[in-house]
Amino acid sequence: MKRHLYILTCLVFFTTMQMYAYEERNLLQQVADLAKVKESLVMNQDWVPFPNYTDRAGWDQLFGEYKETTIQNGEKYLNHEWQVIKATDYLEYERSGNRQIMEKPHNEYRQALGSLVAAELAEGKGRFTEAIINGVFFLCENSSWAISAHTNSLQKRHRAIPDHREDILEIRQGDVAQMLAWTYYFLNKEFDKVDPIISIRLRNELQKRELDPYLKRTDFWWMAFEHSPGHVINNWNPWCNYNALTCFFLLENDKEVLAEAVYKTITSVDKYLNHVKADGGCEEGPTYWAHAAGRLFNYLHMLSLCTNGKISIFDHPQIRNMGEYIARSYIGNGWVVNFADASPRNDCDPSRIHRYGTAINSDLMKGYAAALEKESPITPGINWMDMFNGLEIIRTMPQLKNETLAYTPPTYTWYPETEFCYLDNQKGMYLATKGGFNNESHNHNDVGTFSLYINSHPILIDAGVGTYTRQTFSGERYKIWTMQSNYHNLPMINGVPQSFGSEYKATEVKANQKAMTFSTNIATAYPEEAKVEKWTRSYRLGSKSLKIEDTFSLKETVAPNQVNFLTWGKVDISQAGIVTIEVNNVKASLKYDKALFDVSIETIQLDDPKLSNVWGSEIYRLSLTAKLQTLKGKYTFTISNMQ
């Protein structure tokens, strides 16, 4: 398997000079200008890789063994009650911060419509048509397809209730738009048999709510046309551009207009590719890979498909690195390396991973996808939140099921720009560490933190993030405990935690494959009141243990230093100098100098299902509080595998 030098270099020293390393690579514009886009376009939907609605033999062949599952899934929605989202449901976001009251019915009607359309495509008897029409008419009557958290932030009036005077473009609105665009493409002639006004109305709403705003506006932050240093360009960019590109290719048959729209998506997505690190690390973690690199794959696949392969960058190393990140972040037993807002549990679709791996010819991704599919087989024909992805899963399932490549987890992965380092001693211990800075996308204040796994079980953990509310993406974000450095595996220096901001970052970052070490100065992640001159956190992974050293120099001593570790399972601190941790019969010990530290344990009750579904009802914070306050010193901690 080909190794990329800048990821798998044996010894790397990397100091971040500018954390927002925006680089004008413009990968897409290098392969296509407006003229090439225009000459490459496949017009009149001739690019669609699925049969026409009336091609019954074609649909029978495509759905194959999943035909009945798809039909049965659609039958659940034949009498679906299309729930009106009330004004007060939108307002709840402003009043209490609760997003779910509005988003739950929004997700339900997307799933209902997709399931009904897929069932009608599979069966082809018109049995689902009127239920689909009800859904289409319902959505056309809605004031907005956007969710309350995004109307509140994107509308010019910055209120949660949709403003009928302004059509905004955001990820969930775009999901609805592309679902309806596919519905129009497949079924508009069937709708005409009932009443032509249905198709006319739907096409008009798509023009008004998606196509026109995309062509006319450049001010949505995710487009990045008004990019400036410090402007985060995240997964919204490929996600929204993928939705827009899909709608234009399905609906627009004027070549001049279509070329203009496609080229606009190219220039916007290039802004995203310029912003993300060339090493391919996903700042947002594996959960967000599907929405970042995964949505980018959707976009690039659609772009290649609709230009007959003439506009493609799947052979570029950055695109490979972004794809392979997901295979490199897998630990085993369903666990993944989670930083930022990512969950520690794997939830990525093996079909998309395999399709991405096929596009870039990555044995690592294809083998990983095949391993995931064997470990937890997916059920095609059930999830129709994204019509194109759902149909592609079914269309390409034979390739995934017949994949013979094995997954060999890398023992060392280093992302020198993103500053993630993964070390596997191949004797049961897996270490994930990070440098980075405290204004990454979906940031937690976690510079220098780590997670440790033994026999594919998490021992020292990153809790992840709870259910999103208004507070999650507001000035109150760092009042949430999961976002704070004092609830990561990090020290509080002079009693002070890390601060939010791009200036709070790791420096002097080093990774060494041969020695199995990682180190960084984390003093630069703390505010002035921490009174810290230097604090080098270093990790050394041996055959049976992990050694952590904190070597520090302070300007003043203000309060006792406190080194925190987050864990779960059965924890025993009764013996001075040693903490024992047991998780599912996997035992570990954490040794510390009892002459230097007092140990305490805090039980953190998990009443948020997004956290409790992973960790159970509680996790624990171990706090080692220094007995002495000194200007200089070294702390050593050793975590051993007791198996």
Q: 419-641 architecture in CATH?
A: Distorted Sandwich (2.70)
Domain residue spans in the chain? 51-217, 419-641
- The residue length of the chain stands at 643
Question: What is the predicted pLDDT for the residue at 588?
Answer: 98
Distance CA 516, CA 542 (A): 7
**How many whole angstroms from its chain centre is CA 38?**
33
Location of structure tokens 């204004």: 439
Distance CA 307, CA 266 (A): 13
Location of structure tokens 């493409």: 185
Distance CA 608, CA 559 (A): 33
**HEC assignment per residue over 224-258:** CCCCCCCCCCCCHHHHHHHHHHHHHHHHCCCHHHH
Distance CA 176, CA 108 (A): 12
Question: What is the predicted pLDDT for the residue at 20?
Answer: 52
Q: Percentage helix, strand, coil, to 5, in the chain? A: 40, 20, 40
DSSP 161-216: S--TT-----HHHHHHHHHHHHHHHHHHHHHHHH-HHHHHHHHHHHIIIIIHHHHH
pTM value?
0.93
Task: Give the percent of the chain with pLDDT over 90.
Answer: 93
Please check whether residue 83 is in contact with residue 105, taking contact to mean a CB–CB distance below 8 angstroms.
yes
Please check whether residue 429 is in contact with residue 586, taking contact to mean a CB–CB distance below 8 angstroms.
no
pLDDT digits (tens, 9 = 90+) for 529-575: 999 999 999 999 999 999 999 999 999 999 999 999 999 999 999 99
- Helix, coil or strand: residue 138: helix
Distance CA 22, CA 531 (A): 32
Please check whether residue 363 is in contact with residue 409, taking contact to mean a CB–CB distance below 8 angstroms.
no
- Given a cut of 80, is residue 593 above it in pLDDT? yes
pLDDT digits (tens, 9 = 90+) for 271-314: 999 999 999 999 988 988 999 999 999 999 999 999 999 999 99
pLDDT digits (tens, 9 = 90+) for 57-93: 999 999 999 999 999 999 999 999 999 999 999 999 9
- Given a cut of 60, is residue 385 above it in pLDDT? yes
Write the CB contacts of 459 (distance below 8 Å, at least 6 apart in sequence). Answer: 452, 453, 567, 569, 581, 583, 586, 588, 639
DSSP 543-584: SSEEEEEEEEEES---S--EEEEEE-SEEE--STTEEEEEET
HSE-up of residue 342 (Cα within 13 Å, Cβ side) = 29
In the structure encoding, which two tokens stand for residue 28, read together? 């897409």
Question: What is the predicted pLDDT for the residue at 7?
Answer: 36
Backbone angles phi, psi at 37, to 5 degrees: -55, -50
Distance CA 494, CA 229 (A): 32
End-to-end CA distance of the chain: 32
Location of structure tokens 């041969």: 514
Write the CB contacts of 32 (distance below 8 Å, at least 6 apart in sequence). Answer: 40, 263, 266, 307, 310, 311
Distance CA 255, CA 194 (A): 31
